[in-house]
Amino acid sequence: MSGDLFGLIPWTIESPFSSSYVVSPSGDVEIIVWICIAIAVYSAFRVIVEPDVMRKLPFLNVFSFSISGIIALLIPQPLGIIAAVAYFVGSTFESNAIASTWAGGVED
Amino acid sequence: MNEFLLLPFFLIIIAGSLYAGLARDPYVKIIAISITGGAIMPLIIMRGYLDVASALAVIIPLSTVFLLQLFKKGVV
């Protein structure tokens, strides 16, 4: 998609985020994507402002879930669903690994 | 692609990177790196590199687990 990058640049450039494989979400899907973006921004904000490490981790998990939803909604293709599932599993594994290590880990 | 969809992810990446640089606790640092890695994923997806995104979704948690093993040994 060609654009002037929010009006900041006077000349018209080709956007780097343009691909023939990606269709722009429209209608109800765009509303759902914006809801997921709002959840992602709020959970990232809560992760930053929470003082306790253990209270950050549920919000990190929520952030990962919202990103997985955005990935699945943006690409209506089987490979996009595979990427969303891979990120869902990987990020949940990551959050649980951080929580387990912080809590002391498995006793030998 | 609607370019305004990208703007929140830019903000999250910048906030996560600054938080990772300024935090003192190593666990907080790794949580901030996770935020940055998560916000990068939609940008890769919107460009169309689905295979790269699938590979990164596996590589980023594995690298975090390797760092956590260093935490447990007391190296970091």
Residue A76 belongs to a domain: yes
Distance from CA of B13 to the nearest CA of A (A): 10
| Measured distance CA(B60)–CA(A17) in Å, rounded | 22
Residue A59 belongs to a domain: yes
DSSP state of A107: -
Determine the 3-state secondary structure of B26 from DSSP. Answer: helix
| Measured distance CA(A37)–CA(B1) in Å, rounded | 15
Total number of domains in chain A:
1
Residue A4 belongs to a domain: no
Total number of domains in chain B:
1
Cβ–Cβ of A22/B48 closer than 8 Å?
yes
Domain interval for residue A66: 25-102
pLDDT for residue B41: 92
Q: What is the token pair recorded at B23?
A: 């935090």
ipTM of the complex: 0.90
Question: For the segment A45-77, what is each residue's pLDDT rounded down to a tens digit?
Answer: 999 999 999 999 999 999 999 999 999 988 878
Q: Which element (helix H / strand E) includes A13?
A: strand A13-14
pTM score, whole prediction: 0.83
Distance from CA of B12 to the nearest CA of A (A): 7
Chain A hits for B52, Cβ within 8 Å: none
